[in-house]
Structure formats: structure tokens, C-alpha cells
């Protein structure tokens, strides 16, 4: 694969994210409840707070409410409770502003990339922000450079490989220069090389990151802190190593480390 041309995230260094007020947390969720119509409660009283530039993994079994929580963080869903982004409470009035501050990368890039060419799709977010043509173009090429896809503006989306689609999906949110980046299962359907590539890119981005994942080694490597969600409740909030080596906690929540990283494998060596 072609190496990217030197400037991994220059755009961020040139334009450091500006917080609404420096002291406020990047994300603050207070007693969040939510139920889909006609279903049992999906979120049952979740509270946590994340500092600017922190990287936090959200782990938990299927159906724990992880993706539903993510949809609350940029106002796509509104439950009972308060969600604040950089001190700004999510409401009808603030939701447009909040969506430019919170970049959400969906699990399936085919959901996120809906226009025909790479350049058009990456330009979609910035053009919704009402920027000028030259600024949009600059943001598109910067965002593509940040994910190692520079010069692919004219490629068609359906000609990209899964790994490339994933990186372009990330670029579509980076082009909006968000303060908070939320990724839903970033390593799903990626081969080891594409996964490694994506992790390196994520590491290089100096923004607040929330990574929802079943890929516990990825959580371990990228996020110093982890939240464990189960049945709509926050079960644990600790450092990632602490959580991942607490076998009893993981087992109680239907999670496990890959065999090769667990104590059995170490005993075999």
C-alpha cells in the first residue's frame, strides 16, 4: 500500500479544537434513560464524563446499548437526562452545532458513504457547514491526507476496498474537524493490516475519542480508560488494563479476552 505523504494530521495542529469553555468536559452524560417505542429500556440511567483529548473505550455485550448511547452523543436520539458536549447541552437549538463538534463514524461504511465519489462524500459535511468552496476543498484534501487516502477524490466509492472505505468514512467526519470523535466498531470486517493502519491513524489524531468495540486488544492499545456497559447500565468505569484483566467482571458481563491473551494461554507458554 502506498504510504501517505508525511502530513498525518497537520490540519489539527494548524487548527486546534476550541472548547466552549476550557474547564468543561468534552462529553458529560447525566442520568440518561432511553427506550425505543414499544421496547424495554435500552439505557437505564447512565452517567459519565470524559475530559478533552481523552480516549475512552466503550465495551459490553451485544444489546448492551452501546450504539444507542453513541446516537445520543450527537443528538440523533434524545432520551431523558442531560447530554453535554463541551459544556453545551444537546437540545433542538444546539443540535446542529453539536453535530459539527461530534464526529460519528458508523460501523458500516456503506451507510456513511452515500455519494458516488470519494471527494463528493468527504465534502458533504463541510458544505453543510456553509464553508466556501476553497475551504471545502482544503478540508477534503487535508482529511484524506490524514487517513492516507490523498489524491483519491475522484475514485468511486464502490471501487474501494473495505479498509479504504473505512478510512474514507473516517475522513468524512474529520473534514468537519470535530472535537469529539465517536467510532462504532472501527475494526469490524478489517483484515489485520487494514486494522493496524486504522489504529495508527486513530492514534495520530489529537481529539477526544470514544471507541465502541468488541475488539478488546484494540481498546487496550488505543484507550487508557474503558467504560463497561451491560443491559443499559454502566457497570464499570476504570483504566482499560484494570478492566480487561478482571476476569470475573468480564465473565459476569458475557465478555472475554481473546484466548491468546488470557491467563490460560500464558500458562501454556
In the chain, count H helices and then E strands. Answer: 12, 10
Residues 193-232 that bind another protein (CB under 8 A): none
Name every residue whose Cβ is closer than 8 Å to that of residue 72 and which is 6 or more positions away in sequence. Answer: 29, 32, 34, 43, 78, 79, 83, 90
- Cell numbers given for 41: 429500556
* Residue 40 in the binding site for another protein (CB under 8 A): no
Q: Does an H or E element contain 218, and which?
A: helix 216-222
Using the rule CB under 8 A, give the single segment among 44-52, 127-135, 232-240, 254-262 that binds another protein. 127-135
Residue 71's contacts (CB-CB under 8 Å, 6 or more residues apart) are: 77, 104
Cell of 216: 478488546
Using the 8-state DSSP alphabet, how is residue 78 labeled? -
Pick out residues in 80-119 that bind another protein (CB under 8 A): 96, 99-100, 102-104, 106, 108, 110-117, 119
Kindly tell me which of 30 and 100 has the beta carbon lying closer to another protein: 100
- Told to check if 238 binds another protein by CB under 8 A, we report no
Task: With H, G, I as helix, E, B as strand and everything else as coil, classify residue 213.
Answer: coil
- Residue 157 binds to another protein (criterion: CB under 8 A): yes
CB of 112 to another protein, least distance (A): 5
Nearest distance, CB of residue 158 and another protein, angstroms: 4
What does the binding site for another protein look like in residue numbers (CB under 8 A)? 71, 74, 76, 96, 99-100, 102-104, 106, 108, 110-117, 119-120, 124-125, 127-129, 133, 154, 156-163, 172-173, 176, 191
Amino acid at each position: 500500500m502506498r504510504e501517505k505523504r508525511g502530513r498525518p494530521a497537520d490540519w489539527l495542529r494548524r487548527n486546534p479544537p476550541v472548547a466552549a469553555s476550557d474547564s468543561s468536559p468534552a462529553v458529560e452524560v447525566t442520568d440518561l434513560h432511553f427506550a425505543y417505542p414499544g421496547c424495554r429500556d435500552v439505557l437505564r440511567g447512565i452517567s459519565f464524563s470524559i475530559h478533552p483529548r481523552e480516549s475512552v473505550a466503550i465495551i459490553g455485550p451485544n444489546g448492551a446499548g452501546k450504539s444507542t448511547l453513541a446516537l445520543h452523543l450527537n443528538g440523533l436520539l434524545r432520551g431523558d437526562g442531560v447530554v453535554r458536549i463541551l459544556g453545551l447541552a444537546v437540545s433542538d437549538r444546539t443540535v446542529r452545532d453539536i453535530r459539527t463538534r461530534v464526529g460519528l463514524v458508523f460501523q458500516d461504511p456503506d451507510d456513511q458513504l452515500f455519494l458516488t465519489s470519494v471527494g463528493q462524500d468527504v465534502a458533504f459535511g463541510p458544505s453543510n457547514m456553509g464553508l466556501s468552496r476553497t475551504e471545502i476543498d482544503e478540508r477534503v484534501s487535508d482529511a484524506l491526507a490524514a487517513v492516507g487516502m490523498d489524491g483519491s477524490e475522484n475514485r468511486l466509492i464502490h471501487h474501494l476496498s473495505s479498509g479504504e472505505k473505512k478510512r474514507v468514512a473516517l475522513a468524512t467526519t474529520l473534514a468537519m474537524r470535530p472535537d469529539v470523535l465517536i467510532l462504532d466498531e472501527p475494526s469490524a470486517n478489517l483484515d489485520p493490516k487494514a486494522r493496524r493502519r486504522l489504529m495508527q491513524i486513530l492514534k495520530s489524531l489529537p481529539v477526544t475519542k470514544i471507541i465502541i468495540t468488541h475488539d478488546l486488544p484494540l481498546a487496550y492499545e488505543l484507550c487508557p480508560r474503558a467504560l463497561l456497559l451491560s443491559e443499559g447500565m454502566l457497570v464499570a468505569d476504570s483504566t482499560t488494563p484494570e478492566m480487561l484483566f478482571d476476569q470475573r467482571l468480564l465473565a459476569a458481563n458475557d465478555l472475554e479476552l481473546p484466548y491468546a491473551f488470557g491467563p490460560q494461554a500464558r500458562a501454556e507458554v
